[in-house]
Amino acid sequence: MKIKIFTVLAALFSMLLILSNDILAESKQNMNMNMTEDKQKQNDEMDMGGHDERKKLNSSQGENEITFPKVLKSEKDKDGYENYILKAQEGKTEFYKGSFSDTLGYNGSILGPTLKLKKGEKVKIKLVNNLDENTTFHWHGLEIDGKVDGGPSQVIKPGEEKIIKFEVEQEAATLWYHPHPSPNTAKQVYNGLSGLLYIEDNENLNYPNEYGKNDLPIVIQDKTFISKKLNYSKTKDIDGTQGDIVVVNGKVNPKLTTKEGKVRLRLLNGSNARDLNLKLSNNQSFEYIASDGGYLEEKQQLNEINLAPSERKEIIVDLSKIKGEEVDLVDNEDTVVLPINYKESKDNKETTSKVDKKIKLEGMDDKVTINDKKYDPDRIDFTQKKNQKEIWEIENVKDKMGGMKHPFHIHGTQFKVVSVDRKAPPKDMRGKKDVISLKPGQKAKIEVVFKNSGTYMFHCHILEHEDNGMMGQVKVTK
């Protein structure tokens, strides 16, 4: 009897041992599969540039005809100044029928009027803050004295106003203006504070120049709507807020209808963080005529251009080639940005000059830095002499996770890209610039000259990075 019981127990123990081994083997197999999936996911992230991922952007349905910002009128005073008034204010915008969002605008509910200035003109602008928080008025790309540049130290408090004066010293260019208060730049721009500033053509280059007819300002942004309303606090991303809805000149589902055969598109990427790679849906080429700081020495025939956040480029599209058809301005994923219905400087050589300043852009999330430092308004990071030509080396440091793109901007100057990774810059990086976007691991040399004295900001133009201290200051002395 004892022998039988022992035999049964032994058999049960053997069965349990086999079952346990099977479970252990299956668990190990699942663990290996999970590790493989995690490794593949990590590799996929590395292939995409680490955390530099693009939120999927939905195509425009072409339901709303875009409108163009009004041109801000001026009055000339006895001292020869053109006088303007610009007010930052709160408003409500009906992006979707019957649904109003709280927005910010200049002299209106969203975005702002276009300022048209001329070289040699004396300008006086009254800046009024009708918001319930601090703001500044930054003139992005304008070469002016640091005291009126509108950086984070030049705060205008709620209910206050300030008058600035300057003389326009630049040639024709498409610039823009936006707030720059630390640490609320991203929020204020996202909610609507942006406007264009033209320095008008002083010479007849035979380019389309009828504002709103064949010379068209195009401000491209991306936003997320919750129940058809904007809510930055709920959609904010510390590594750069991206949206899934394209907004052009303040319109969702935008479209452009024109009778003009040739149109000049002054493109501004007014997004907080999204890179745009724009082309025409029929792969038709276009003329690239101007960069951030003005006309190229030689226009370029291109099929695609990249626009980093805050970057501007001017292109001329010949729509007569597609008469009676529709062509779309699309992003690189063939996302329709703007349905359109028709009814370069010379090669730069790698510099052998010594590098005068080195800028290292590093980090993600709230750990972003420039040269391992966070922004300190009381610290001057660099000095430079007025009208002195210097070579700045800009490096986007690649980290263990791969890093992400950083669009680098300098206030108060237009620089020239000398090289990218020791090679001549690509065609769409030529001409005068105030923004250069670098991928993780990329290094560029730029030629920097300041025509005015003062203290100027340099920073990453992913606005959330800027607000988290990815900024520095250069003091330009006479």
Measured CA to CA, the distance from residue 279 to residue 452 in angstroms comes to: 37
Residue 246: count other Cβ atoms within 10 Å of its Cβ. 25
Alpha-carbon dihedral angle through residues 334, 296, 361, 143, given to the nearest 10 degrees: -120
Q: Which two tokens stand for residue 82?
A: 């053109």
pLDDT at 326: 77
Q: 161 forms bridges with which residues in the sheet? A: 128
CB 446 within 8 A of CB 458: no
CB 93 within 8 A of CB 100: yes
Residue 420 sits in a domain of what CATH number?
2.60.40.420
Residue segments in the chain with a per-residue pLDDT below the cut of 50: 1-3, 5-9, 12-13, 16-20, 23-25, 27-28, 31-51, 344-348, 351
Helix (H, G, I), strand (E, B) or coil at 30: helix
Answer whether residue 271 is part of any domain.
no
pLDDT at 427: 87
Enumerate residues 6+ apart whose C-beta is below 8 A from 387: 449, 450, 451
Answer whether residue 461 is part of any domain.
yes
Answer whether residue 45 is part of any domain.
no
Longest Cα–Cα distance of the chain, Å, equals: 123
Helix (H, G, I), strand (E, B) or coil at 252: strand
Enumerate residues 6+ apart whose C-beta is below 8 A from 194: 111, 112, 176, 177, 178, 219, 221, 268, 270
Helix (H, G, I), strand (E, B) or coil at 428: helix
pLDDT at 52: 53
Strand 81-96 to 99-106 pairing: antiparallel
Return the ∠ at Cα 464 (arms to 459 and 469), rounded to 5°.
Answer: 50
Evaluate the CA torsion angle 427, 428, 432, 434 in order and state its sign.
Answer: negative
Answer whether residue 389 is part of any domain.
yes
Domain interval for residue 439 = 357-476
Q: 241 forms bridges with which residues in the sheet? A: none
Answer whether residue 379 is part of any domain.
yes
- Going by C-alpha positions, the residue among 203, 175, 197 that lies closest to residue 292 is 175
Helix (H, G, I), strand (E, B) or coil at 81: strand
CB 111 within 8 A of CB 129: no
Classify residue 13 by burial, with Cβ atoms within 10 Å: 0-12, 13-18, 19+: exposed
Reported as a single tens digit per residue, the pLDDT across 429-450 is 989 999 999 999 999 999 999 9
Enumerate residues 6+ apart whose C-beta is below 8 A from 377: 152, 153, 182, 473
Quote the distance between the C-alpha of residue 472 and its chain's center. Answer: 18
- Going by C-alpha positions, the residue among 272, 109, 115 that lies closest to residue 195 is 115
Helix (H, G, I), strand (E, B) or coil at 174: strand
Answer whether residue 250 is part of any domain.
no
Measured CA to CA, the distance from residue 10 to residue 3 in angstroms comes to: 10
Measured CA to CA, the distance from residue 196 to residue 157 in angstroms comes to: 23
Q: Which two tokens stand for residue 439?
A: 């991928």
Enumerate residues 6+ apart whose C-beta is below 8 A from 213: 260
- For the stretch 224-229, contacts whose Cβ atoms lie closer than 8 Å and that sit 24 or more positions apart, written own/partner, are 225/95, 225/96, 225/101, 225/252, 227/99, 228/95, 228/96, 228/99, 229/95, 229/99, 229/100, 229/101
Q: 101 forms bridges with which residues in the sheet? A: 93
Classify residue 452 by burial, with Cβ atoms within 10 Å: 0-12, 13-18, 19+: buried
DSSP per residue, 211-239: BTTTEEEEEEEEE-EETTEE-HHHH--TT
Answer whether residue 361 is part of any domain.
yes
Q: What's phi and psi for 458, nearest 5 deg?
A: -135, 140
Q: Which two tokens stand for residue 162?
A: 């300030």
Answer whether residue 104 is part of any domain.
no
Question: What domain count does the chain have?
Answer: 1
